[in-house]
Structure 1
Amino acid sequence: MNARKTAIVIAPGRGTYGKGELGSIARLHGQRFASHIANFDAQRRDRGQPTVSELDGAERFSVATHMRGDVAAPLIYAATALDYLSIDRDRFDVVAVAGNSMGWYSALALGGAVSVADGFRISNAMGLNSQTHGPGGQILLQIVDENWRPVPGFRDALLALVGAIASRPGYDLALSIDLAGMLVLAGNEEGLAALLAEAPPTPGRDPLRLAGHGPFHTPLMFGSSGKAKAELPPSLFASPAIPMVDGRGHIWRRFSSDPDEVWDYTFGHQILAPYDFALSVQVAVKEYAPDVIILPGPGDTLGGAIAQSLIGIGWQGLASKADFMARQASAPILLSMARADQRELVTGQR
Structure 2
Amino acid sequence: MKKIGFLSFGHWRDAPGSRTRSAADALLQTIELAQAAEELGVDGAFVRVHHFERQLASPFPLLAAIAARTSRIELGTGVIDMRYENPLHLAEEAAATDLISGGRLQLGLSRGSPETVLRGAEVFGYRPAEGETAADAARRKTEVFLAAIDGARVARTDPARTGVSGGLAIQPQSPGLRDRVWWGSGTRATAGWAARAGMNLQSSTLLSEDTGVPFDRLQAEQIELFRQAWREQGHDREPRVSVSRSVLPITEEIDRRHFGGRPDEDQVGLLEGVRSRFGRTYAGEPDRIAEELAADAAVRAADTVLFTVPNQLGVAYNARILETITRHIAPALGWAAAEPVARGKP
TM-score (norm 1): 0.31
Structure index of larger Rg: 2
Structure 1 or 2: more strand by fraction: 2
Structure 1 or 2: more helix by fraction: 1
